[in-house]
Amino acid sequence: MAGVRIEGLAKAYGDHRVHTGLDLEVVPGQCFTLLGPSGCGKTVLMRLIAGFEAVDAGRILIGERVVADGASGVHVPPDERGIGMVFQDYAVWPHMTVFDNVAYPLRIGRVAAAELAERTRAAVEQVGLAGLEARLPSQLSGGQQQRVALARALVSRPELLLLDEPLNNLDANLREEMRFEIKALQERLGITVLYVTHDQEIALAIADRMAVMDASGRPRQSGTPAELFDRPADDFVFRFLGIANFLEVRRVDGSLRLADGRTPWAGPAPDRPGDRLAVGFRPGDVVASRGGEGLPGVVRRASFLGAQVDYLVEVAGTTIRAAVDSGRAFREGRVLAEGEDCRLAFLGVQWFDAGVLDAGAA
């Protein structure tokens, strides 16, 4: 089991600088997810770690071993890095059966026949494909092919497993199922996993720790999923992790008012000074009720989605999204209709400088 340490990494393609001085650490035995928009260089980083690309500067360590060093020119080829990798397009070999695909790393490693058969069967079983060993990939569904890729990456007991958006091409249900499976496997085997994705739900669900990168490849924040979600370092992280509502709050003569200058802000107090602030919250942070205390608003749209009712509420000229648990709303008779006046209370908010309001519009 090995961690990964990246120090001062730089990589450019011609004039296009993908990474400049990136530092990152993955703790051994943990699942680390790297979340970022497409084009942020997260796949390049993965390929640098795997050894498919050479670093321009900086070092990459897998465990204690330096596998890439721009200064000394060390570049350990991918086949000697002891990693397992799963690609977005599965990359299972179409001319080999499930068994042969999974057994390949062992064959290359000259594992004795009996042990090879045993370990391959175990790996195939581990991903729930027992009985399908003789099938060709073309006879498997997308989810099953991805499982073959996973078994193949795990069979040689790598120190480090790299997953490059492996669930992207699967449909929603399968994606949900697979992310739990990957997490369960990681915990059972105790291996180190580095997972890159642009899907915040997957990233949050499987990570022990995670980092959010912006479009220019700069890590904005790293920490546990709860830390990032509850205490985002900036509005980029806040927006990237889910649906984000913002309201402008002004200090007028010592009291807090919304953008219209009249409506008083009725939520938690700001944690920072300034005459113009932005308050951010998620749809689930809002409790919308008929009457009572709280910020007045008008329901512009109510959509019943099953487990939740999704409201679009107009508050002092701004529309925000609020989500409530439908079961409870029905039980408590709190289902609001379109056009109805309501009051909003807040379970938790984030404060930002007012500048983020303009960033969102851009």
Partner 1 sequence: MSAAAPRFGTAQVLFGLAVGILVIFVAVPVLLIFFNAFWVNGAFNVADVLKVLRQKDTYEALLNSLVLASGVTVTGTIVGTFFAWLVTRTDLPFKGAMKVLFLVPFMLPSFIGALAWKMLLSPRSGYINRFFQEVLGFDGPVFDIYTYGGIIGVETMYLFPFVFIQVCGALERMDPTLEESARISGADLFTITRRITIPLVLPSILSGALLIMLYSMAHFGTVAVLGIEAGIYNIPTLIYEKIHQSAGSFDSIRTGTVLATVLVVTAAFILWLQNRVLSRGRYQIIAGKSFRPTELKLRGLRYPLLAFCLAYIAFTIVLPTVTIFLVGGLKTYGLPLAAENFTWGNYRHILFEWQLTRDAIWNSITLGLAAALITMFAGVIISYVIVKMKVRGKGILEFLGMLPFSVPGSVIALGVILAWSGKFGVNLYNTVWIILVAYIARYMAFSLKANSAALEQVHDSLVEAARASGATMWQALRDVVVPLVRPGMLAAFFLIFLPALRELTVSVLLYGPTSRTIGVAIYTLNEDGETVYSAALAGIALVIIVTGEVVIKRFFKTASGS
Partner 2 sequence: MGYVTLSQVTKRFGGVTAVDRLDVEVDQGECLAMLGPSGCGKTTTLRMVAGFEDIDEGEIRVGDRVLSSKRGNYYLPPEKRNFGMVFQAFAVWPHLTVLENVAFPLRIRRLPAAEIEQRTREALTHTNLLGVAHSRPDDLSGGGKQRVALARALAIRPDVMLLDEPLSSLDPHFREEMRFEIKDLQRRFGFSILYVTHDQSEAMALSDRILVMRAGVVQQVGAPTEVYRNPANRFVFAFVGLSSFLRVRLGEGGPAVDGADLPAGLCPPLPAELSGAPQAVLATRPSEVDFVAEGGLRGVVRRRSYLGEMVDYQVEVGGQDVRVQKTRHEPGPAPGEACGLLLRAARWYAADESD
What are the residues binding partner 2 (CB under 8 A)?
Answer: 180, 183-184, 200-201, 204-206, 225-226, 229-230, 241-242, 282-285, 301, 303-308, 310, 323, 325-327, 330-331, 347-348
Q: Which is nearer to partner 1, 55 or 315 (CB)?
A: 55
What are the residues binding partner 1 (CB under 8 A)?
Answer: 50-54, 75, 77-80, 83-85, 87-89, 91-95, 104-105, 108-109, 149, 152-153, 156, 162
Torsion angle of C-alpha atoms 323, 172, 154, 227, degrees rounded to 10: -10
Measure Cα distances from 272 to 192, 276, 347 in Å.
39, 10, 19
In the list partner 2, partner 1, none, the entry touching 200 (Cβ below 5 to 8 angstroms by class) is partner 2
Cβ neighbors of 309 (< 8 A, separation 6 or more) are 302, 303, 323, 324, 326, 329, 335, 336
State the Cα–Cα distance between residues 339 and 233, nearest whole angstrom.
Answer: 36
Measure Cα distances from 106 to 111, 116, 147, 154, 187 in Å.
5, 6, 17, 11, 23
Q: Which is nearer to partner 2, 38 or 72 (CB)?
A: 38
In the list partner 1, partner 2, none, the entry touching 52 (Cβ below 5 to 8 angstroms by class) is partner 1
State the Cα–Cα distance between residues 89 and 169, nearest whole angstrom.
Answer: 7
User: Are the C-beta atoms of residues 124 and 153 closer than 8 Å to each other?
Assistant: no
Q: Which is nearer to partner 1, 58 or 105 (CB)?
A: 105
Measure Cα distances from 62 to 50, 81, 113, 322 in Å.
10, 8, 30, 44
Least gap, CB of 139 to partner 2 (angstroms)? 19
Q: Which is nearer to partner 2, 63 or 284 (CB)?
A: 284
φ/ψ of 7, rounded to 5, equals: -125, 120
In the list partner 1, partner 2, none, the entry touching 152 (Cβ below 5 to 8 angstroms by class) is partner 1
In the list partner 1, partner 2, none, the entry touching 346 (Cβ below 5 to 8 angstroms by class) is none
Cross-strand partners of 114? none
Closest Cα to residue 289, out of 325, 249, 246?
325
Q: Which is nearer to partner 2, 263 or 350 (CB)?
A: 350
Least gap, CB of 187 to partner 1 (angstroms)? 22
Least gap, CB of 317 to partner 1 (angstroms)? 41
Cross-strand partners of 192? 160
In the list partner 1, partner 2, none, the entry touching 348 (Cβ below 5 to 8 angstroms by class) is partner 2
Q: Which is nearer to partner 2, 41 or 283 (CB)?
A: 283
Least gap, CB of 295 to partner 2 (angstroms)? 18
Q: Which is nearer to partner 1, 63 or 296 (CB)?
A: 63
Least gap, CB of 32 to partner 1 (angstroms)? 18
Which amino acid type is present at position 136?
Answer: L
